[in-house]
Amino acid sequence: MRIKVLLAGMAILMACVFSACGNGNEPEVDKLNEMSYAWHYRNLDSTRQYAQRALEFSSHYDDGYAEALNNLAFVSLAKMQYAQALRQLEEVQDKTDNQIELLVADVQLMRLCQRESRNKDFYDYRERAARRLRRIREEGGNLSPHQKRRMIYAASEFRIVASTYFYYVGLVDQSIGALSEIDPEGGIRQDTAQMLCYWYNIGAGGIISGKPAEAIAQEEFEYLMRCFVTAQQGDYPYWEAQALQGLSEHLQQPEQRQRLFKSNLPIIQFVNIDGMPDSLLAGNLAQRALDLFTQYGDVYQMAGANRTLAECYWQIRDYRSALICLTRALRQSKAINQAPDLVASIREQLCLVYSAVDDKVNSDRNRNIYLDLQEQTRQDRLLEARADQLRSSSRQLNVMLAAVIFMILIVVTLLVVFDRMRRRSDAGFSLDTLLQPLRLWQQHNEEHNEEVEENYEELQEQMEVERQHLSQNKRRNLEQRAKIQLVNSVMPFIDRMANEVHRLLAHHDTDAVRRQRYEYITELTDTINDYNNVLTQWIQMRRGDIRLSIESFPLQALFDMVSRGKMGFRLKGIDLQVEPTTAMVKADRTLTLFMINTIADNARKFTPSGGRVTIS
């Protein structure tokens, strides 16, 4: 048994040591994770590198470990390594109970489901993320600055991902509603990357409504330009490419292009760094977006940029170049097949391009593939997801109901058993036997109460005595101060007498002056005697009062003081012996010393020469 206790204690000690060692790395891990997040839309390799370092240093820091996994999952999503991203995000669920990092993981799982067109799973993760968001807002009143930044990212990303999903499944109103929940003047202002994402999603189209088409196009163009300029200034190549791609899509239609050129000519000239003709500017912007996405390494966006570039070639009737772009989008990476909705949009464009070049076979084939994929991806699975959630809730309620019924049965059974046991116990024991412990307790309680009352009365008496002593001490203090004041008032007269005596001793005065000085000294003496008489009468009034200061002290100290008077005994021929002692006495020190001195003095007076006096 002692060995088990010792092992348990050692395990607890080691856990505390490891925990202390791990906690020392928390600021460094948070800094690495913040650096990884700062590189999200700048460089995926740097994002991965900082996240890997944070992962290495956070072996005993679960929150930092989970945040590093979320950063790595972001890279995996961009690289379209969806299986790896899923493993990383599921590991977050197992690694920590930090609701903010779990919310980030759920949001990234929502994006993963949107990319893979797993619509029912999307709603499951969305519902879970919404519950976490509500819980954090209800309970997260004292978040650290680092956690607040993570919360801003998670909350805004949750709404942006939901808006993107609703837009692609054709639920425009829900898409607008999700994005409108973001306050552009709120906390998102602290996160430039999320602000760029918000501007791009509005400028990309489908969000602004209730205005003429020309006004909507102009406002979307302004949002995209704001995103483009800010991304350039902040070195965000990902959002620079997204803004260029959105601008390209807005400049493809000739009528809309002409209106935008007319209203925004200086801005168009700023974007048109290659001096392209009006009809080719959209393709130039799409090509620049493709180059930036290729440099950044986002496989999904590279395919989307190829599709946008193909649309530009389609508008200028360069079908061969459009076919090359679409084919490259499909064949550049096999991972693209994991995104059915993106593949469907590419197949749709291929159908149109093959039809334009009179290749009916390939046009029909791509059309069939597109329709099959669209049927799979564009179906909103909200009702199915809710049905599954209700079934799950129903199962949980049934289990809980069964457990409650089972517990009721157990309680009823125990009540019956205890009732029978009580009846048997009542039959075996009398009421007096049952009440005997209570009577004993009552007796002990009464004795204890009496003892407490006696102690209380004693304390009251002591307090009253102390009050009297305090009052007497205050009165005596006043008297003593008055006596001291009286004595101090005599000192100036004494000083004057000393001065007059000094002058008389000098022998420089005439007889008349000397007589005056003698008279003045006599007056001073009379005044001092008057003060002395007052003090003497005062002392006589207090005669008989004894002020005792009772304390415990060693008797040897008083013996040492008495032994100093040996010389008086020797002059009379008496031998004084003071024996050492370790005795402790409780008395008034001064009165005890006075008593011992009195006894010793009487012994000296009445002991003949040659005798011995012993004090012990």
Interval 184-197 mean pLDDT: 92
Interval 196-206 mean pLDDT: 91
Looking at the structure, do residues 526 and 563 belong to the same domain, yes or no? no
The answer to the question of residue 478 being in a domain is yes
Contact 350, 311 (CB under 8 A): no
Count of domains observed in the chain:
3
Rounded-to-integer distance, Cα 385 and Cα 122, Å: 9
Asked if the model's pLDDT at residue 37 lies above 50, the reply is: yes
Interval 140-165 mean pLDDT: 89
The answer to the question of residue 329 being in a domain is no
Query: In this predicted structure, what is the pLDDT of residue 176?
Result: 92
Query: In this predicted structure, what is the pLDDT of residue 320?
Result: 92
Domain end (from 541, 568, 590): 541
| C-alpha neighbours within 13 Å on the C-beta side of residue 344 | 18
Asked if the model's pLDDT at residue 238 lies above 90, the reply is: yes
Looking at the structure, do residues 416 and 503 belong to the same domain, yes or no? no
Looking at the structure, do residues 438 and 412 belong to the same domain, yes or no? no
Which of 443, 449, 536, 550 shows the shortest CA–CA distance to 490? 536
CA dihedral 254→259→263→269, nearest 10 degrees, is: 0
Rounded-to-integer distance, Cα 489 and Cα 146, Å: 76
The answer to the question of residue 248 being in a domain is no
CA dihedral 84→88→89→95, nearest 10 degrees, is: 160
Could you tell me which residue, 97 or 18, shows the higher pLDDT? 97
278, two tokens: 């009006």
pTM as predicted: 0.61
The answer to the question of residue 494 being in a domain is yes
Looking at the structure, do residues 536 and 484 belong to the same domain, yes or no? yes
CA 160 to chain centre: 28
The answer to the question of residue 297 being in a domain is no
The C-alpha angle with vertex 476 and arms to 473 and 477, in degrees rounded to 5, equals 85
Looking at the structure, do residues 443 and 420 belong to the same domain, yes or no? no
The answer to the question of residue 424 being in a domain is yes
Query: In this predicted structure, what is the pLDDT of residue 4?
Result: 41
CATH classification at residue 601: 3.30.565.10
Interval 71-84 mean pLDDT: 93
446, two tokens: 């009464």
352's enclosing H/E stretch is: helix 340-356
pLDDT band at 18 (very low <50, low <70, confident <90, very high): very low
The answer to the question of residue 44 being in a domain is no
Interval 199-226 mean pLDDT: 91
Asked if the model's pLDDT at residue 316 lies above 80, the reply is: yes
Query: In this predicted structure, what is the pLDDT of residue 429?
Result: 59
Rounded-to-integer distance, Cα 221 and Cα 327, Å: 29
Looking at the structure, do residues 504 and 597 belong to the same domain, yes or no? no
The lowest-confidence range among 193-202, 252-261, 537-546 is 537-546
Q: Do the bridges between strand 550-554 and strand 584-588 make them parallel or antiparallel, or are there none, so unpaired?
A: antiparallel
Place of tokens 């040591």: 17
Query: In this predicted structure, what is the pLDDT of residue 14?
Result: 38
The answer to the question of residue 12 being in a domain is no
Q: Do the bridges between strand 575-578 and strand 612-615 make them parallel or antiparallel, or are there none, so unpaired?
A: parallel
pLDDT band at 237 (very low <50, low <70, confident <90, very high): very high
pLDDT band at 9 (very low <50, low <70, confident <90, very high): very low
Asked if the model's pLDDT at residue 42 lies above 90, the reply is: yes
Q: Is the dihedral of CA 71, 76, 80, 85 positive or negative?
A: negative
Query: In this predicted structure, what is the pLDDT of residue 542?
Result: 59
Looking at the structure, do residues 519 and 443 belong to the same domain, yes or no? yes
Contact 145, 160 (CB under 8 A): no
Query: In this predicted structure, what is the pLDDT of residue 21?
Result: 41
- Domain extent for 414: 383-428
Asked if the model's pLDDT at residue 420 lies above 80, the reply is: yes
pLDDT band at 11 (very low <50, low <70, confident <90, very high): very low
- Where do the DSSP E strands lie in 404-529? none
Looking at the structure, do residues 466 and 413 belong to the same domain, yes or no? no
- Report DSSP state, residue 608: P
Looking at the structure, do residues 422 and 498 belong to the same domain, yes or no? no
145, two tokens: 């600055």
The lowest-confidence range among 276-280, 381-385, 472-476, 565-569 is 381-385
Query: In this predicted structure, what is the pLDDT of residue 247?
Result: 93
Which of 237, 241, 195, 289 shows the shortest CA–CA distance to 44? 237
Contacts of residue 300, Cβ cutoff 8 Å, sequence gap at least 6: 77, 78, 80, 115, 336, 339, 342
Contacts of residue 430, Cβ cutoff 8 Å, sequence gap at least 6: none
Query: In this predicted structure, what is the pLDDT of residue 6?
Result: 36
Contact 110, 164 (CB under 8 A): no
Rounded-to-integer distance, Cα 499 and Cα 233, Å: 97
Domain end (from 363, 396, 428): 428
Query: In this predicted structure, what is the pLDDT of residue 158?
Result: 94
Quote the mean pLDDT of the chain. 84
Which of 320, 292, 178 shows the shortest CA–CA distance to 236? 292
Looking at the structure, do residues 446 and 419 belong to the same domain, yes or no? no
The lowest-confidence range among 156-165, 325-334, 606-615 is 606-615
pLDDT band at 340 (very low <50, low <70, confident <90, very high): confident
Looking at the structure, do residues 562 and 606 belong to the same domain, yes or no? yes
Interval 545-573 mean pLDDT: 75
Percentage above 70 pLDDT, the chain? 89
Asked if the model's pLDDT at residue 462 lies above 80, the reply is: yes
Rounded-to-integer distance, Cα 260 and Cα 78, Å: 32
Asked if the model's pLDDT at residue 7 lies above 80, the reply is: no
Query: In this predicted structure, what is the pLDDT of residue 380?
Result: 54
Asked if the model's pLDDT at residue 10 lies above 80, the reply is: no
Looking at the structure, do residues 490 and 523 belong to the same domain, yes or no? yes
Rounded-to-integer distance, Cα 546 and Cα 306, Å: 113
Domain end (from 488, 515, 541): 541
